[in-house]
Amino acid sequence: MSIQSCLFNAFANPRYCDPQGESFMWAIMEGMNRLDPYHKDWRPTKARKEHECVRGCEIRDGNLYFQGEIGLAWDAYLKLCASCMAMILYYKEVYKLPRYIYSHWDIANNKPVLEKE
């Protein structure tokens, strides 16, 4: 699957796709790295309790979510669930940017791969 389809499915098909799944998390992290390899604005964080994302989505204990700095310290931040981060990356068209490491997700082997473009 392409990064484009992984990102789209992570936010547009919640009934059939869990954005916490490996292929979707790969697409989100690849997309974040394509935009900013040093993650200056956003950092992934594993939830240790129930949270709510800025768009009202549930973030369950144990889920990976993303913190975006809005102030001078990390205690002033926004929270985005994986689904919302996938949506932002999809609409930023990160799939058109040069790859960071991998280009596609190999469904048969359940891992990211580099395919000729």
Return the pLDDT at 84: 96
3-class SS of residue 94: helix
Return the pLDDT at 89: 96
| C-alpha 38 chain-centroid distance | 15
Would 93 be classed as within a structural domain?
A: yes
Model confidence, pTM: 0.89
Would 112 be classed as within a structural domain?
A: no
- CB distance 103 to 115 below 8 Å: yes
Number of domains in the chain: 1
Return the pLDDT at 72: 63
Phi, psi of 100 (to 5 degrees): -90, -55
Angle between helices 22-35 and 82-91 (to 10 degrees): 50
Return the pLDDT at 43: 86
Would 79 be classed as within a structural domain?
A: yes
Which residue, among 92, 111, 87, 90, has the nearest Cα to 101 in the 3D structure? 111
Return the pLDDT at 71: 64
Would 113 be classed as within a structural domain?
A: no
Would 56 be classed as within a structural domain?
A: yes
DSSP designation for 109: T
Would 115 be classed as within a structural domain?
A: no
Spans of the chain below 50 pLDDT = none
Q: What domain range includes position 73?
A: 3-106
